[in-house]
C-alpha cells in the first residue's frame, strides 16, 4: 500500500482527482482504466454509491496499482476503517471529523477532510490532514484560494465542485496543489455510450490544463 507521503507527492505531481459515482464495480473499473490512460490515476468513490465499500474492494482488486482508489464522503471513523480494510488508498470527507483523521493517521493512510472557512482549514491541518479539500467550490472560488494562500502557504489545498477546464488553471495558479473533478471529467453521457476514448481525452485535457498553469510538462 502506498504511504501517505508517497500519495501526497503523486497527487502534487498529477494534480487531478476524478470524483465518480457508479453502482457497478465493472463499470467503474472500465472508466478508471480510461482515466489512467489519460494520466489521471486518482479515483474517489463516494459513500453515496450503493454498496460503496464492496465497489471499492472489487475495484482495488481488479485495478491493482495502476489506479489509486479513494473513499469519498466519509463521515465517521467506522466507515473510514471499513474503506481502508477494502483497500482505499486515501479517504476524503466533506467536513472536518477528527475521528476520521485519527483513523487514517493510525494506519498511515492519506486523509483529505473538507473545510471552507479559514478556521476549519486550520483545524483540519492541525488535526493531521495531508491535504485539505476546500468545499464547496461554488463558494471557494479561485479568488478565495488566492486569499487563503496569504495566511496558509504551508497547507496543501484542493478544491472540489465548480471545477472544470476553465476554472482548473485558475485554481492551480491561485495555489491549489490539485483539483477534484466530477462530471466535467467523467461525462455521464460518455459513460452511458461506452465512449472511453472521450473519457481518456478529457483526462488528458485536465492534466494538460494543470501542467500549463504550473508551467510544467507531464
Backbone dihedral region of 116: left (phi > 0), alpha (psi from -120 to 50 degrees) or beta? Answer: alpha
Instruction: Give the tens place of pLDDT for each residue, 74-122.
Output: 999 999 999 999 999 999 999 999 999 999 999 999 999 999 999 999 9
Does the annotation count 24 as an active-site position? no
| Residue ranges per structural domain of the chain | 4-213
Band of residue 213 on the pLDDT scale cut at 50, 70, 90? very high
Q: At what angle do helices 98-106 and 77-85 cross, to 10 degrees?
A: 30
Residue from 10, 44, 120, 170 carrying the catalytic annotation: 44
Distance between CA 92 and CA 25 in Å, rounded? 19
Q: Of 69, 126, 78, 135, nearest to 104 (Cα)?
A: 78
What is the grid cell recorded at 126? Answer: 492541525
pLDDT at site 171: 97
Strand residue runs (E) in the chain = 16-20, 42-46, 68-72, 90-92, 110-112, 114-115, 132-134, 157-159, 179-181
> Could you tell me how many helices (H) and strands (E) the chain has, helices first?
10, 9
DSSP lists the bridge partners of residue 132 as 157
Of the candidates 133, 170, 183, 217, the residue annotated as catalytic is: 133
- Cβ distance 88 to 69 under 8 Å? yes
Angle, helices 77-85 vs 52-63, to 10°: value is 30
pLDDT-above-90 percentage for the chain: 87
CATH class, domain 4-213, is alpha beta
Q: Is 10 a catalytic residue?
A: no
To the nearest whole number, what is the mean pLDDT of the chain? Answer: 94
Per-residue pLDDT band for 194 (boundaries 50, 70, 90) equals very high
pLDDT classification of 137: cutoffs 50, 70, 90: confident
SS3 181: strand
Amino acid at each position: 500500500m502506498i504511504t501517505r507521503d508517497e500519495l501526497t507527492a503523486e497527487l502534487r505531481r498529477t494534480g487531478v482527482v476524478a470524483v465518480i459515482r457508479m453502482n457497478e464495480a465493472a463499470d467503474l473499473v472500465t472508466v478508471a482504466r480510461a482515466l489512467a490512460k489519460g494520466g489521471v490515476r486518482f479515483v474517489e468513490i463516494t459513500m453515496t454509491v450503493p454498496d460503496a465499500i464492496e465497489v471499492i474492494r472489487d475495484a482495488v482488486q481488479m485495478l491493482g496499482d495502476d489506479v489509486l482508489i479513494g473513499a469519498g464522503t466519509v463521515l465517521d471513523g467506522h466507515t473510514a476503517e471499513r474503506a481502508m480494510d477494502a483497500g482505499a488508498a486515501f479517504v476524503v470527507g466533506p467536513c472536518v471529523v477528527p475521528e476520521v483523521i485519527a483513523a487514517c493517521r493510525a494506519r498511515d493512510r492519506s486523509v483529505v477532510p473538507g473545510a471552507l472557512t479559514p478556521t476549519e482549514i486550520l483545524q483540519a491541518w492541525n488535526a493531521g490532514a495531508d491535504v485539505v479539500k476546500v468545499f464547496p467550490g461554488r463558494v471557494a472560488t479561485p479568488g478565495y484560494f488566492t486569499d487563503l494562500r496569504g495566511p496558509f502557504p504551508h497547507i496543501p489545498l484542493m478544491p472540489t465542485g465548480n471545477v472544470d477546464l476553465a476554472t482548473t488553471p485558475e485554481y492551480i495558479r491561485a495555489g491549489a496543489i490539485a483539483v477534484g473533478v466530477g462530471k466535467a471529467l467523467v461525462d455521464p453521457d460518455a459513460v452511458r455510450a461506452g465512449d472511453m476514448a472521450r473519457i481518456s481525452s478529457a483526462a488528458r485535457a485536465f492534466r494538460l490544463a494543470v501542467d500549463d498553469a504550473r508551467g510544467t510538462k507531464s
